[in-house]
Amino acid sequence: MPRRKGAPEVNAGSMADIAFLLLIFFLVTTTIETDAGLDRMLPPFEPPNEEPPVIKQKNIFTVNINRNGQLLVEDQLMEISDLREAATKFLENGADGTCTYCKGRKDPGSSDNPAKAIISLKNDRETKYSTYITVQNELVGAYNDLRNREAQRLFGRDFTDMEAEYLNPETPSNVRDDLKDKVKRIQDMFPQKLSEAETTTN
């Protein structure tokens, strides 16, 4: 019995159509944008019988937002646009003189050093979320400004830039290892202590 020569050739003319169909499907379902936002750590939930740590009043920078979106900073009314500067001044005050890189006024009534300085943020239940985010943004901005300044002085580039590169998963690992120490060093110079829990004072 004579065999047929080879398999018959499959018509590939409709290949493009099939591919187009798939392409259009993925085009429609695609969302490329990645989300971005303010990263924050919440304080751990402590059992109520535990004693909260005692912190000196002068090391706490209190920020209160009322229901109308007005700010009470260290018991004084303040505009949100002035908040960043006030927070920066507080953080790098350096009253006890241990902070060599601080350029503050060393006011004895303000924070001892950046490691001890705590920003306490309280809000009313009626405060609008957008106001709260603006305040958070300004406070994080104050930290970033100081960190950027020190990073520029030590490594000649912005801290936020270095951190973004460090956190980017596409950065090669040898670059990341190098950045890790630098990022850590800057973070330790101005540790972010932004409390949203109730802090007791004496």
Partner 1 sequence: MAKFTKKKDGDLPAVSTASLPDIVFMLLFFFMTVTTMKDSSLMVANTLPNASEIKKLEKKDRVIYIYVGTPTQEYQKVFGTEPKIQLNDKFANVDEVGSFILAERAKKPQELQNVLTTALKVDKEANMGLITDIKQELRKVNALKVNYTTYEGDAFNNLQ
- Helix (H) or strand (E) run with residue 122 in it: strand 118-123
* 175 touches partner 1 by CB under 8 A: no
Residue among 59, 64, 66 at smallest CA distance from 75: 64
Coil, helix or strand at residue 140: helix
To partner 1, the closest distance from the beta carbon of 132 in angstroms equals 5
Beta-bridge partners for 63: 73, 121
Region near partner 1 per CB under 8 A, out of 18-26, 99-107, 151-159, 178-186: 18-26
Q: Which is nearer to partner 1, 8 or 129 (CB)?
A: 129
Say how many C-beta atoms besides its own lie within 10 A of residue 201's C-beta: 13
Site for partner 1 in 136-165 (CB under 8 A): 136-138, 140-141, 144, 160, 163-164
Contact criterion met (CB below 8 Å) for 121 and 196 = yes
Cα–Cα distance for residue pair 32/22, rounded to 1 Å: 17
Say how many C-beta atoms besides its own lie within 10 A of residue 187's C-beta: 14
> φ, ψ for residue 188 (rounded to 5)?
-70, -25
Q: Which is nearer to partner 1, 6 or 37 (CB)?
A: 37
Among 2, 47, 53, 169, binds partner 1 (CB under 8 A): 169
To partner 1, the closest distance from the beta carbon of 160 in angstroms equals 8
Q: Which is nearer to partner 1, 61 or 159 (CB)?
A: 159
Q: Which is nearer to partner 1, 57 or 171 (CB)?
A: 171
Residues that bind partner 1 (CB under 8 A): 12, 15-16, 19-20, 22-23, 26-27, 29-32, 34-45, 65, 69, 80-81, 123-134, 136-138, 140-141, 144, 160, 163-164, 167-169, 196
